[in-house]
Amino acid sequence: MSYFNVEKEVKEAKKSLNECVDFSYRYFKRGEQKIAFVYLKSIIDPSLFSSAIYFPIQTYDDKFTFEVIKNDLIKCVDIKEVKKKDIVKEILDGRVILLTNFSEKILSVDLLKFPTRTPSEPPTSPVIQGPREGFVEDMQTNITLLRRRIKSQDLVMDVVRIGNQTQTKVCITYLKGVANKKIVTLVRQKLNNIKIDGVLDSYNILYCLEERPGSLFKQIGNTEKPDIVVSKLLEGKVAIIVDNSPIVLTIPFIFIEDLQNSNDYYTNHHYSSFVRIIRFLGLLIALIAPGFYLALQLFHYNILPLNFLITIADTTQGLPFTPFLEILFIFLLFQVLYEVSLRLPSYLGLATSVVGALILGDTGVKAGLISPPGVIIVALSKIALYTIPEQAPQITVLQLVFIVLGGSLGLAGIVSGMVYIGNYLNNFDSFFTPYLAPYSPRINEDLKDALLMNPTYSMRHRPRSFSPQKKERL
């Protein structure tokens, strides 16, 4: 009795896949028994196919049955039975389909293999101490990196597929009994609601997950380091691993996270606290230094120390621009240079720095177009920006806002701007978590890992800000 016309089925599969060039099939025939192997040769491991599937079948000299093939002959780990309607989907997932004319069952064997890189130190987060491994584009490797660190039965990994065309695998990871159920449900709900053509990177879904889409402020954490993701999972957060992306998203996110660095946990906590304060000061300088300088120069020069005032007066005398336009000009100049240096090949980068810093800056001052204090202030704010590189995009926009506020309204403008931002950020709770916690609202327990850091052994409770199910770490 013949169950499948294997040639017809192969033809149908080929047609469904638009007869693409990497579509492959092989037949094995012995007497009346016929077996067809269907796969995409570009995404399977050909040597494994030969050694673990084809060769054992070829060398078997008895009558074939489906059970014998499945249980005895195929030497692969991931084997499953599938339905006829799933054949194309399985082939696209890098699996080999086995069709026979002596059984109604269809076998699918995982042989997925494509070029991947090995885990290495991510360029975005180099460390002095602590693990140097980083995530890669292969989701399976990324899951392995997490599994290696969390040997717990509570680690949950649910996979959903997003993208009508790309069918990208997205893995929701969390610790059962630790992560807040409400957050997990909301994340899953948001992921299921994403209607998108394709997901090429985790950033494609990041904007769909945000509680306030379109907001300037970062609402979802991202990292390339497995140790960071593990520490966040232990805090009760949810991680989202996207296939083909080395960036793993973490939810919920609060502002203070960007002041923290994985290095902090591997060094002395006194030093870590000091570094965090420096980062915070860097953030403040980056945010308001140009605007503050303008406010002092234009409205409140009487509070400047006399010597400083004389220096400013000396250097700004005879400039063709107003102070506001001067700072704006230098700000834009720096931004242009930054954008150019990012996109130029590395051998041209040095030349750009020389042209930018020496020729444009120095000549600009000598030509009397810009003043040295202006250059120093803007340069300082631009350097300070990179004490927290994760916040650089939004701080750059806010720098401009504060330049306008300081230049037009003086200190009143800057103070109002700060309070406005405070009110705005306090108004959105990202995934049931106050954005500016643990400072507003003040959560005393969480202050142990805020600007000032306590030793890690004293952090016996998970951060209350994320409302974990299990409060104790032990």
Partner 1 sequence: MKKISINQCGVLIVMCIFANKILLMPSLMYERTSADSIFVLALLFLLDFIILPIFIKLKTLYPDQKFYDVLKEKIGIFFTKLIYIAMLLFFLFKCLLVFSITYVYFKQQIYQDEFLFIALIAFLPVINHAVFVGIRSFSRTIELFFWIVIAGFIICLAISLFTPISSPLFFMSSVSDFFSSMHNHIFAFGDFMFFFVIMDRIDFKKGNIKNLYYYSLFAIALVITLFYLFYAKYQTTAFMHNNALADLLVFSVQFNAIGRLDIIAMLTIMLITLFQMEIFSYAFCDCFMGIFPLNKIYSVVVFDILFLLLYYVFIGRYETMVVSSLHWLPYLALLINYLLPFIILIIVLLKLKRNKSG
* Contact residues for partner 1, defined by CB under 8 A: 299-300, 302-306, 308, 405, 409-413, 415-416, 418-420, 422-424, 426-427, 434, 436, 439-442
Beta carbon nearer to partner 1, 69 or 398? 398
What minimum distance in Å lies between the beta carbon of 385 and partner 1? 22
Which of the 8 DSSP states describes residue 309? Answer: H
CB within 8 Å of 341: residues ≥ 6 apart: 349, 352, 353, 356
Q: Is 392 helix (H, G, I), strand (E, B) or coil?
A: helix
- 106-110 and 168-175: which strand pairing? unpaired
What minimum distance in Å lies between the beta carbon of 167 and partner 1? 40
Beta carbon nearer to partner 1, 393 or 422? 422
What minimum distance in Å lies between the beta carbon of 305 and partner 1? 3
**Of the candidates 91, 90, 108, the residue with the CA atom closest to the CA atom of residue 99:** 108
What minimum distance in Å lies between the beta carbon of 470 and partner 1? 22
Two tokens at 67?
């059970």
Instruction: Please state, as a whole number, how many other Cβ atoms lie within 10 Å of the Cβ of residue 315.
Output: 17
Task: Give dist(CA 177, CA 250) in Å, integer.
Answer: 17
Cβ atoms of 421 and 310 closer than 8 Å: no
Amino acid at 252: P
Two tokens at 469?
């199910």
Beta carbon nearer to partner 1, 440 or 458? 440
What minimum distance in Å lies between the beta carbon of 298 and partner 1? 10
Question: Which region, left, alpha or beta, applies to residue 259 given φ > 0 means left and ψ of -120 to 50 means alpha?
Answer: alpha
C-alpha distances (whole Å) from 442 to each of 235, 251, 346, 393 are 18, 20, 46, 27
Two tokens at 160?
């959903």
Find tokens 């996110």 and name the residue: 253
What minimum distance in Å lies between the beta carbon of 447 and partner 1? 12
Task: Give dist(CA 405, CA 459) in Å, integer.
Answer: 41
What minimum distance in Å lies between the beta carbon of 424 and partner 1? 7
Find tokens 């693990």 and name the residue: 131
Beta carbon nearer to partner 1, 28 or 432? 432
Q: Is 223 helix (H, G, I), strand (E, B) or coil?
A: strand
Cβ atoms of 137 and 246 closer than 8 Å: yes
Beta carbon nearer to partner 1, 43 or 409? 409
What minimum distance in Å lies between the beta carbon of 243 and partner 1? 38
Beta carbon nearer to partner 1, 253 or 334? 253
Amino acid at 31: G
What element of type H or E holds 342? helix 323-343
Residues paired with residue 439 on neighbouring β-strands, in sequence order: 442
Beta carbon nearer to partner 1, 306 or 367? 306
Cβ atoms of 210 and 428 closer than 8 Å: no
What minimum distance in Å lies between the beta carbon of 294 and partner 1? 14
Residues paired with residue 248 on neighbouring β-strands, in sequence order: 223
Beta carbon nearer to partner 1, 80 or 442? 442
Beta carbon nearer to partner 1, 91 or 294? 294
- 221-223 and 168-175: which strand pairing? unpaired
What minimum distance in Å lies between the beta carbon of 442 and partner 1? 6
What minimum distance in Å lies between the beta carbon of 282 and partner 1? 18
Q: Euclidean distance between the first and final Cα of the chain, in Å?
A: 62
Two tokens at 4?
């499948």
Beta carbon nearer to partner 1, 60 or 324? 324
What minimum distance in Å lies between the beta carbon of 409 and partner 1? 5
Residue 403 backbone phi and psi in degrees, to 5: -65, -45
Beta carbon nearer to partner 1, 231 or 430? 430
Cβ atoms of 177 and 152 closer than 8 Å: no
Beta carbon nearer to partner 1, 4 or 435? 435
